[in-house]
Amino acid sequence: MKKILFLLLVFNCAFGEEIYASFNVEASKQSKLALESIGLVQKIPVEIGQKVSKGELLLALDQESEKIALQNAQNSYQLALVEYENTKSRMQKIKAVENVIDKQSYEDMKAKFDAANLNLNKAKINIAYYKNIMAKKELRAPYDAIIANKFIQVGEGVGGVAQPLIEIFSYPQSKLILSFDEKYKDKVRLGDDFFYKIDQNGTELKGKISLIYPSIEVKTRKIYAEVQTTDLTPGLFGEGRIITKD
C-alpha cells in the first residue's frame, strides 16, 4: 500500500496538475496594408482566401511615368559610363607623362576626370531613386499569409498611408488564445505543456504556454494565455488541459 501511495506521489510531482482550458485560434499576425505612394491601381493579382508568400506582389499602382523616367536614367548612366571610361583612359595616359607636361594640362584633365566620375555616380543615384519610387508603388506581403480582405478595386485611386488596401493574417503561423479559471493564476507558468484537440479533429496536439496575460477578465473571471502553433485556421476553437510543473 505504501508503495502504491509513493508511486502516486511521484506521478503527481512528475506530471503536475491538470487544468482545463478552452481556446480560440487566432493569427499570430494580422495587418491592414497600405502604400506610401498615391496613384491609380493597375492590378491586384490576389484573391480573398489566397495563400501568399513573403515578398509576393499583392497590388501595384500605375508606373508608366516612372518606367519612362527609369529608362531615361539608365540611358544617362550608359552615356556617363562611356564618358567616364574615356576620361579615365586619357587620365592614365596623362599620369604616365605627368613629369614632362605642364601642371595646368594635368589639372585640367584631372578636373574632367573628377567631373566624369561625379556624373557617373549621379546617374547611378538616379537609377536607384526611380527604382525606389517604383518599389513604393507595389504592395508586397510582409510575411507568409492569407488574404483576408480587399478594400479597393483596379482603377480606383490610392491616397497614401491612411488608406488600408488589403488585409492579411499570418499563415501557417497561428496561436491559441487560452482561457482558464482565475484560481489557477499562480499555478500556470510559461513553458507549461498544453495538450489540446480541435473540434473536427480527434488528434491530440501539444504546445507550450508562451505568454500569460497579466490581468483577469472582469466579466468572466478568466485568465488568458497564448500557445504558438502552425497550420490551424483562425476561427477554429477547442479545449485542452494545461499540465503544470509543480
Q: How far is CA 151 from CA 48, 136, 137, 166, 234, in A?
A: 11, 19, 17, 6, 20
- Extract the C-alpha cell encoding 70: 527609369
Q: What is the pLDDT of residue 154?
A: 97
Residue with cell 484560481: 183
Q: What is the pLDDT of residue 108?
A: 86
Q: What is the pLDDT of residue 199?
A: 67
For 195, phi then psi, to 5°, come to: -100, 130
Q: Minimum mean pLDDT among 31-35, 103-107, 161-165: which range?
A: 103-107
Domains and CATH numbers, the chain: 16-29+171-243 (2.40.30.170), 31-61+139-166 (2.40.50.100), 64-135 (1.10.287.470)
Which residues are CB-contacts of 74 (< 8 A; sequence separation ≥ 6)?
A: 127
* Per-residue pLDDT tens digits for 114-162: 999 999 999 999 999 999 999 999 999 999 999 999 999 999 999 999 9
Kindly tell me if the per-residue pLDDT of 7 is higher than 60.
Answer: no
Q: Specify the 3-state DSSP secondary structure of 142.
A: coil
Q: What is the pLDDT of residue 3?
A: 53
CA 191 to chain centre: 26
Rounded Cα distance, 96 and 85, in Å: 17
Angle (CA) 76-78-83 rounded to 5° is 95
Q: What is the pLDDT of residue 6?
A: 43
Per the prediction, the chain carries an average pLDDT of 90
* Per-residue pLDDT tens digits for 200-246: 667 889 999 999 999 999 899 999 999 999 988 888 899 999 999 86
Kindly tell me if the per-residue pLDDT of 11 is higher than 50.
Answer: no
* Per-residue pLDDT tens digits for 40-97: 999 999 999 999 999 999 999 999 999 999 999 999 999 999 999 999 998 888 888 8
Rounded Cα distance, 59 and 55, in Å: 12
Q: What is the pLDDT of residue 128?
A: 97
Q: What is the pTM of this model?
A: 0.74
Looking at residues 161-176, what average pLDDT do you find?
A: 95
Q: How far is CA 166 from CA 103, 105, 133, 173, 191, in A?
A: 64, 62, 20, 19, 35
Q: What is the pLDDT of residue 13?
A: 43
Neighbours of 169 (CB within 10 A): 20
For 185, phi then psi, to 5°, come to: -60, -30
Taking 3-state DSSP, the helix, strand and coil percentages for the chain, each rounded to the nearest 5, stand at 35, 35, 30
Q: Smallest Cα–Cα separation from 201: which of 236, 229, 241, 242?
A: 236
Neighbours of 115 (CB within 10 A): 13
